[in-house]
Structure 1
Amino acid sequence: MTRPISVQRAQPGMVKILGEMIDRVYRPEKTPGEGMPKEFPHLFHPDNAHNLFYAEINSIPVSMVAVLKQTAIIPGAHIPVASIGSVVTLPEYRGQKLATTILQSVFDVMEQEGQALCLISGDRDLYLRQGARKIGRMYTVHIDTAALARESSSDGAVRIIDAHRRQRYAPILAHIYQQENYRFQRRVDQMAILLDALWFKRPHFRQELFVIESESSIEGYLVVFVRESEPQHGVIMEWAGNRERMPWALAQVKRQMDLEHITFHIHAMDYWMQSVAMAQNWVMQEEPIQGTVKVANAAVLVHAYAAYLEEHGQDIISLQNLSGEALLSRLFGPPFEDSLNLPFILTDDLNYI
């Protein structure tokens, strides 16, 4: 007889237990609770406990799905987005559709609670079966650092910020981040927590925060990591700020981290940075954003884009009546004649789960 699966929302006292459970699967080399919860401090925080969904067997949590509610800032629209990650079932309990059941419950709850979209950190068949799809466009940039300019700047510097000083930079870096289009909303206190997250402290994984300074101010920043297995390949996890200074800044990053290759992402609507990349002859490859997206609440989604849709003569009611997958295609593409090809956020940052 199949036992009924009851999906529960965590209370603050359960956050530690769930963090230890997920580390058994995703960070087995770490002391339970010292891996994923420290890498994703907003997700595994007592204040976010109610957004951790789990199932128990014999009073023991064995499967979970975590949600972080955020606001995507797009010119002319603020989109409530439920970022979904940390989807896990302990190995000995797999094959019982526990994660599928929890996901279905999460999607129902997010619809009821007025989230427009669910952004899922992956493209597993588990998500695709639930109607999640690849949307949005970005460019992956590949740079052979030998081609980066070697000249130095006489009116500034690019500096690594030591671990004990990162949080002091949260106010100015949050302000720079907030000036970006197509990003998540982020407060200063949230930025401070992210700058002290385990991403910066993982073994076999070097991650550094660089600030781009002029004589009078900080004009931008980059978060760059290298894996121990690829010590000369740098990946930019998050960046923001003055585009014109970016080639020079990357040259300084290359020198300070001894890199031969650098990879980072540019939003499809960031024409300024694209023009900089083209002027530098950097290789750009167009692709969907990271993760997959599912419509949570069609009415909320259409309402968020209402000003744009009405300006372009779209029938709001008919859009709301489309299936989730049809609505995704109609609004975001992939590009085709009947799609509005609306831009989505750049998910490549420290908030991504």
Structure 2
Amino acid sequence: MQILNHEVDVKRGTRDILKDLVAVVNAVMRPTSPGGYRMEDEFPHLLGSDNAKNIYYIEEDGKPVSVIAIKIWKALLDSHAITVASLGSVSTLQEYRGKGYATSILERIISDLKAQKVSLLIVSGTRDLYKRAGCIQAGLIYQYNIRRESLPYSSKSKQFSIRKITRRQESAEWILDLYNMERYRFERDLSLMKTLLDSIWFRRENWPMELFEISENGFRIAYFIGYKRGSESRTLNVMEMAGSRHGIINSLGAIIDDMNADDILLRVHPADTSMIGILDSIGFSRREAPVQGTVRVIDPSSLLNDLGNVVAERNWRCFSDQQGENYKLHCESPTARIDAKTPSEITDAFFGTGDASMKIPLMFTDDLNFI
């Protein structure tokens, strides 16, 4: 990559230039516009007018040529709120690549996030661009691949029933109530929930995706959002679920049948002991995987302040030093010690899975909040 030897001017978006910024993203990400949808339809919360100021770009030849967007919001880890920035729509026009523009924009974003005391950066990809900036794969999820015939429950259960929800926005309030009971999640209000439920994810061509209401003896107890990667796929994936784990497991057979699948790839949070207990008792095997994408701790001091109780419950004592824009993290437990100096080391100290890590679980990064 040819890096420019002069400083480039990284600008922040406005509503006036939003159309041109989104055009760059579409030219890179959706050049053929399959099914007629565009990136602003898929990610209205990221590329909409309300978030225009969080779209960063570089101009050349009198037009935007490189763009990165972020969305700043709250997330809850074990019911403790932290401020996070989700990053996506990283796009540079073909003829302007190799100049280090994306790197320059990312550096500016990280600098701004530090000034705003944002705790954590979440990136949907794993490119070297992000790794050079200190982002790592971290966190832990359990994945269960479950064949339809191995489910011990009937799809014609009289106790549990499913109903496909097509008027999703009208169901946003009760869905939000169930979602808000989750201990690890993004913070959503009713407006954001309606926006997410109306996104193009549910209308993409050749991408079957459905929202199911799950009831027990006539009472609503859970919801489940599943999708297939292509109409011909026989594997069902989970986008999001919340509510009664017992109800969800008892309804999986009916959901798999409804979506014309043979198996389901079920991802389960490591703190979801109820779901893990049910699946393990049935005899399903699981494998470990990191959360989707990469993450980087931006401000360890802010993160320690927000997650102090979580850190203490894991028998760690930590403090952070700041020298200019750089941080150091020092932690001790009865059995280990951490001296982290680089962004990747600090991130691994919080969210890694090794012995020299606090092993704090992350929320799912690929649910409806995915960017």
TM-score range (shorter-chain normalised) is over 0.9
Aligned to 1:143: 146
Aligned to 1:19: 22
Aligned to 2:182: 180
What is the letter of the counterpart of residue 325 of structure 1? S
Answering whether residue 350 of structure 2 is matched by residue 331 of structure 1, we say yes
Could you tell me how far 1:304 is from its partner in structure 2?
1.2
Aligned to 1:85: 88
What is the letter of the counterpart of residue 159 of structure 2? D
Provide the rounded CA distance (Å) in 1 between the counterparts of 2:277 and 2:178.
21
Provide the rounded CA distance (Å) in 2 between the counterparts of 1:38 and 1:86.
13
Residues 237, 264 of structure 1: 8 Å contact kept = no
Please give the secondary structure, in 2, of the residue aligned with 1:24. Answer: helix
Answering whether residue 366 of structure 2 is matched by residue 348 of structure 1, we say yes
Aligned to 1:157: 161
Residues 159, 210 of structure 1: 8 Å contact kept = yes
Residues 227, 238 of structure 2: 8 Å contact kept = yes
Provide the rounded CA distance (Å) in 2 between the counterparts of 1:25 and 1:48.
20
Range 42-51 or range 74-83, more displaced? 74-83
Residues 350, 360 of structure 2: 8 Å contact kept = yes
Unmatched runs of 5 consecutive residues or more in structure 1: none
Could you tell me how far 1:200 is from its partner in structure 2?
0.8
Please give the secondary structure, in 1, of the residue aligned with 2:168. Answer: helix
Unmatched runs of 5 consecutive residues or more in structure 2: 330-340
Q: Return the match for 1:45 from 26, 38, 48.
A: 48
What is the letter of the counterpart of residue 161 of structure 1? I
Please give the secondary structure, in 1, of the residue aligned with 2:125. Answer: coil
Provide the rounded CA distance (Å) in 1 between the counterparts of 2:190 and 2:103.
35
User: Once superposed, what is the RMSD of the aligned Cα atoms?
Assistant: 2.0
Q: What does 1:118-129 correspond to in 2, within 5 Å? A: 118-129=121-132
Aligned to 1:304: 306
Provide the rounded CA distance (Å) in 1 between the counterparts of 2:311 and 2:229.
44
Could you tell me how far 1:310 is from its partner in structure 2?
4.7
Tell me the alpha carbon deviations over residues 53-82 of structure 1, each in whole angstroms, 9 at most, x when there is no partner: 111112211111110112111225211110
What is the letter of the counterpart of residue 321 of structure 1? K
Tell me the alpha carbon deviations over residues 137-194 of structure 1, each in whole angstroms, 9 at most, x when there is no partner: 10112111121222533234211112xx111100000110110011111111111111
Could you tell me how far 1:326 is from its partner in structure 2?
2.4
Please give the secondary structure, in 1, of the residue aligned with 2:45. Answer: coil
The TM-score, its normalising length taken from structure 2, stands at 0.89
Could you tell me how far 1:85 is from its partner in structure 2?
0.9
Calculate percent identity across the aligned residue pairs.
33
Residues 79, 183 of structure 2: 8 Å contact kept = no
Please give the secondary structure, in 1, of the residue aligned with 2:208. Answer: strand
Residues 20, 33 of structure 1: 8 Å contact kept = no
Aligned to 1:268: 270
Residues 133, 293 of structure 1: 8 Å contact kept = yes
What is the letter of the counterpart of residue 305 of structure 1? L
Provide the rounded CA distance (Å) in 2 between the counterparts of 1:239 and 1:212.
10
Aligned to 1:114: 117
Aligned to 1:321: 328
Residues 66, 85 of structure 1: 8 Å contact kept = yes
What is the letter of the counterpart of residue 289 of structure 2? E
Q: Return the match for 1:171 from 173, 180, 183.
A: 173
Residues 16, 33 of structure 1: 8 Å contact kept = no
Provide the rounded CA distance (Å) in 1 between the counterparts of 2:242 and 2:122.
22
Residues 72, 86 of structure 2: 8 Å contact kept = yes
Residues 160, 250 of structure 2: 8 Å contact kept = no
Residues 13, 46 of structure 1: 8 Å contact kept = no
Provide the rounded CA distance (Å) in 1 between the counterparts of 2:254 and 2:43.
29
* Number of positions where the alignment pairs a residue of Structure 1 with one of Structure 2: 350
Please give the secondary structure, in 2, of the residue aligned with 1:55. Answer: strand
Q: What does 1:199-238 correspond to in 2, within 5 Å? A: 199-228=201-230, 230-238=232-240
